[in-house]
Structure 1
């Protein structure tokens, strides 16, 4: 019996696995919270009136000082891009599951996943050079294990999962396009 994804590809319909839908929704909710923390600073920081919603960031800014630096434009720009990505991802899920526009939903989620993965890689590159070029600018002394546990590992999820989404959806889209090209050539 053929798998659901193979059946859909033969019928020129892209299939969005449940894990991709779940990732799109959960990561979007986390990114809304994250971007809102950055874009509402200093109100979201300690002593701010919104701090009760963002209290875990009091610890996070010790491993990622960009989140505590009100003058750094890079973290502000990446936060606005979070809103763009999550809007695309949630719209993709709605297109796929509610409006049954399967190919459109898969394509839009592929685009959002590429954006998320590449933005996170850029964030890591920026972090590496920021730390090496300005080693004394961080107001906090952190241990390597804290940096790995609180920054590297959680942030890596926004490379790994979007890459897997891109790979899974991209392969399907390519098969659908190839199938369509074969049908056009034989007609």
Structure 2
């Protein structure tokens, strides 16, 4: 298997993931100012519709889970940006190995956080989304959630496998 830091689609995914996670996190953390009609709402236009779809994004949802999840979003976005810096700017073998570690941690966080988000909704009897027709739930919730579970799990495997190969190669060279 080749070095995953050489795959442009992986860098693109991590860049998109960092942007989406940051945008989403900042919307949640800046509530009520980011909510429709308030001073910062211009930066989150599509959320005008999403807050009606997923009630956990509105101001009335007070469990704190969304803001806690948003803090995790910012951490994983930071790790994605460190990965991109190490791959695109530093680009030495050592920096690429460190980039793999950063990406592996980030993808584990992304997958775990998304599963936790799904479980939170499941154990609350889908209270935030059940008022919607299934077609909307599939398009706006199931499909994106699936994407943010499957891709991170796959990338965790890819980066983990690469790191294990590097460790085995280093161990074999040391034993020679």
TM-score, shorter chain, exceeding 0.5: yes
Separation of aligned partners in 2, 1:168 and 1:107: 11
Quote how far apart the aligned CAs of 1:140 are.
7.7
Unmatched runs of 5 consecutive residues or more in structure 2: none
Which protein shows a greater Rg? 1
> Which residue of 76, 82, 95 corresponds with 2:73?
82
Instruction: State how many pairs are aligned.
Output: 172
Separation of aligned partners in 1, 2:51 and 2:22: 17
Matching of residue 47 in structure 1 with residue 21 in structure 2: no
Separation of aligned partners in 2, 1:184 and 1:103: 18
Quote how far apart the aligned CAs of 1:139 are.
9.1
Q: Considering only aligned residues, what root-mean-square deviation do their CA atoms show, in Å?
A: 1.9
- The corresponding residue for 2:57 is 67
Quote how far apart the aligned CAs of 1:152 are.
1.1
Matching of residue 178 in structure 1 with residue 172 in structure 2: no
Report the secondary structure of 1:45's partner residue: coil
Report the secondary structure of 2:90's partner residue: coil
Quote how far apart the aligned CAs of 1:20 are.
0.8
More contact order relative to length (CA 8 Å, sep ≥ 6): 1
Matching of residue 92 in structure 1 with residue 86 in structure 2: no
Separation of aligned partners in 2, 1:15 and 1:142: 40
Separation of aligned partners in 2, 1:42 and 1:140: 23
Separation of aligned partners in 2, 1:54 and 1:161: 25
**1:26-175 to 2 correspondences below 5 Å:** 26-68=16-58, 69-100=60-91, 101-131=95-125, 135=127, 138=128, 141-175=131-165
- Checking the alignment, whether the CA contact within 8 Å between 1:16 and 1:169 is kept in structure 2 is no
Superposed CA offset, 1:75-132 (max 9, x none): 1000011000000111111012201111011111111111111110111001111125
- The corresponding residue for 2:13 is 23
TM-score by length of 1: 0.84
TM-score by length of 2: 0.89
Separation of aligned partners in 2, 1:27 and 1:21: 10
